[in-house]
Amino acid sequence: MGLKQIDHGTEAYQQMVQLRHQILRAPLGLQFTPEELMAEKEEILIAAFDDDDIMGCCMLSPVNDTTVRLRQMAVLDQVQGTGIGASIMTFAENIARDKGFAKMMMHARATAVGFYEKFGYKVIGAEFSEVQLPHFMMEKLL
Ligand SMILES: CC(C)(COP(=O)(O)OP(=O)(O)OC[C@H]1O[C@@H](n2cnc3c(N)ncnc32)[C@H](O)[C@@H]1OP(=O)(O)O)[C@@H](O)C(=O)NCCC(=O)NCCS
């Protein structure tokens, strides 16, 4: 399995959108809008590939000069629990550090809080709702 940064609008990006739809949106009956996807031109797009097949992904969005937000973390159903999410987290944190960010934060689904805790992220503040699901804000100094 290889980890890489991918470019918006490429074949790899199309695979990433399909994976995110399948794992994060379709189960909720939601779809990405063209405007949402167009806005991702400015994001740092990260994916894990097994040969030509995408296994997992995430995105990094700068919040300000020091903080970056991790978004859209998803691993293909069949290979969840096999270490791919952990590899993506380590890769994403290294990229964030290389780009000079001092803090990483995310809106974590309540069901994923335990995953982020494994990497030292702490819950900040109260539960809130996003895409109809309970979430917590989490953060860590890189
Ligand atoms: C959450 C997700 C990204 C984790 O990726 P993964 O590849 O399944 O996780 P890994 O196999 O790398 O697990 C790394 C560690 O986290 C633990 N872990 C994984 N998912 C977890 C979860 N939901 N809650 C608590 N711990 C979790 C694993 O047991 C493992 O622990 P270990 O190191 O002690 O063995 C993935 O399961 C997924 O895509 N879930 C559905 C979408 C989702 O919820 N995305 C996050 C939105 S905020």
Going residue by residue through the chain (142 aa), what tens digit of pLDDT does each one get? 999 999 999 999 999 999 999 999 999 999 999 999 999 999 999 999 999 999 999 999 999 999 999 999 999 999 999 999 999 999 999 999 999 999 999 999 999 999 999 999 999 999 999 999 999 999 999 9
How far apart are the CA of 98 and the centre of ligand 1, in A? 24
136 CA to centre of ligand 1 in angstroms: 16
Predicted local confidence at residue 73, as pLDDT: 98
Range of the structural domain that residue 8 is part of: 2-141
| Exposure of 84 in the CB half-sphere (CA atoms within 13 A) | 24
Nearest-atom number in ligand 1 for the CA of 118 is 16
Residue type at 98 in one-letter notation: D
CA angle at 56 for the pair 71 and 52, rounded to the nearest 5°? 135
Q: What is the pLDDT of residue 136?
A: 98
Predicted pLDDT of residue 99: 97
> Model-level pTM greater than 0.95?
yes
What CATH number is associated with residue 88? 3.40.630.30
- 83 CB less than 6 Å from ligand 1? yes
What pLDDT sits at residue 96? 98
| Number of domains comprising the chain | 1
Instruction: Say yes or no: CB of residue 138 within 6 Å of ligand 1.
Output: no
